[in-house]
Structure 1
Amino acid sequence: MLPLLWGFGLLVGSLLQANPADSVKLIPNLGYYVEMRQIDCVGNPNYFNSMYCKILPPNNRTMEASVVIMQKLTALSGSLRVSIPNAKKVITQIFDITFDVCKVLRERKRKVLIDLLVNTLARNSNAKAWKCPFQKGSFESRNISVTDLPPMLTESEFYVNLDFFIPKVAIGMNVTLHGHLYEIAKEKNRRRKYL
């Protein structure tokens, strides 16, 4: 059995070196997808106005968001908290990260979760060069979807709370998201069972 697994590992490794995009198509059962169930966004009208966020049907795997920045922002911090319920439905916080948004955008050394957040929001956005200071104006992002999730996750319900604030001045905005993380291989097996 061990030589078989080792051989499979070599095959996958060589495929990934040859062309990573084609390799992903050959291994369709690996990975995750996120189904979003509820999203709420609220902004402090002195800094962020006309906030809009919506989960897009029919699959609830993408969303769109927009906001009007009311004044130039030279400093902006964020707080990202991720929680999951345990078997007894008690909510357990698994991540709690506070970060300087300007520093995160400037530097390339980011924590995995923050990097995922930045890449997800920047994709399909009209803010081509996200940088500080943030200029006054309208920003929007369409077809926001969560991809490239780390492989050590497990299927579960989740809650995300994202706050942006001006340090020592005011809370700027809050976004909360409730959803479910599905493992693609398990979901395919469940569908086969009922079909």
Structure 2
Amino acid sequence: MWSTLIWSLIAWSSLLHIHPAETAKLIPNLGYFIEMKQMDCVGNPSYFANTYCRILPPHNRSMEASVTIMQKLSTFSGSLRVAIPNAKKVITQIFDITFDVCKVLRERKRKMLIDLMVNTVARNSNAKDWKCPFPKGKFESKNMTVTDLPPMLTESPFYVNLDFFIPKVAHGLNITLKGHLFEIAKVNARKKKYL
């Protein structure tokens, strides 16, 4: 039923020449939001000092982070792992991506999950232009909120582990995040049932 409704709206919007972003506004109850439970970040002080991250109350849907880059970084890689528990509480890894940060920023050829991460961090950061080499200095991003999640997800707890490292030299920074993904339509249905 939902897929029929979505395709009908897309067809009508194309006939009426409505932008796809405007079409999305016609479907207010579809989508997701993330509620974060725990966030930790640890840096190698030779490369990343004064590492700070926290989840922002009251709804725990946004976060802020800052770090001081101690030396210019011209070679820089990352590893992103996302896992969810199944019904038997066994943790299943659903994404495991290793990427060259400089290449990703230079070529702009990113996977959806990396794009989501870059856009989330860059949206409210003090970095004017993301490119390598990364200069020394303080980097901060405030009020980061995860948006534009892919539509094939389902409600569940999740675990994210993001590592940054200098290949074959040193580990640089680790960020872990635990939270829960909620589907807006299901949350609204539960509200109607109990209110």
Shorter-normalised TM range = over 0.9
2:159 paired with 1:187: no
Q: Which runs of 5+ in 1 are unaligned?
A: none
Cross-structure match for 1:11 = 9
> How far 1:154 sits from its partner (Å)?
0.7
CA distance in 2, matches of 1:11, 1:118: 30
Give secondary structure in 2 for the equivalent of 1:55. Answer: strand
Map 1:19-168 to 2 at 5 A: 19-168=19-168
User: What is the letter of the counterpart of residue 119 of structure 1?
Assistant: N
> How far 1:22 sits from its partner (Å)?
3.2
User: What is the letter of the counterpart of residue 98 of structure 2?
Assistant: T
Q: CA RMSD in A?
A: 1.5
CA distance in 2, matches of 1:75, 1:98: 14
CA distance in 2, matches of 1:150, 1:72: 34
> How far 1:60 sits from its partner (Å)?
0.5
CA distance in 2, matches of 1:9, 1:79: 36
CA distance in 2, matches of 1:81, 1:48: 21
Contact 2:10 2:20 survives alignment (8 Å): no
- Count, aligned residues: 191
CA distance in 2, matches of 1:11, 1:144: 30
CA distance in 1, matches of 2:11, 2:156: 29
TM-score by length of 2: 0.93
TM-score by length of 1: 0.93
Give secondary structure in 2 for the equivalent of 1:18. Answer: coil
> How far 1:33 sits from its partner (Å)?
0.4
| Per-residue Cα deviation, 1:128-178 (whole angstroms, up to 9, x for no partner) | 201000000000001111100110111100000000001111000000000
Give secondary structure in 1 for the equivalent of 2:68. Answer: strand
User: What is the letter of the counterpart of residue 80 of structure 1?
Assistant: L
CA distance in 1, matches of 2:124, 2:83: 27
> How far 1:26 sits from its partner (Å)?
1.9
> How far 1:13 sits from its partner (Å)?
3.1
CA distance in 2, matches of 1:106, 1:49: 25
Contact 2:120 2:144 survives alignment (8 Å): yes
CA distance in 2, matches of 1:52, 1:185: 34
> How far 1:109 sits from its partner (Å)?
1.4
CA distance in 2, matches of 1:121, 1:156: 23
Sequence identity, in percent? Answer: 73
Give secondary structure in 2 for the equivalent of 1:191. Answer: helix
Q: Which runs of 5+ in 2 are unaligned?
A: none
CA distance in 2, matches of 1:194, 1:101: 46
User: What is the letter of the counterpart of residue 151 of structure 1?
Assistant: P
Contact 2:63 2:145 survives alignment (8 Å): yes
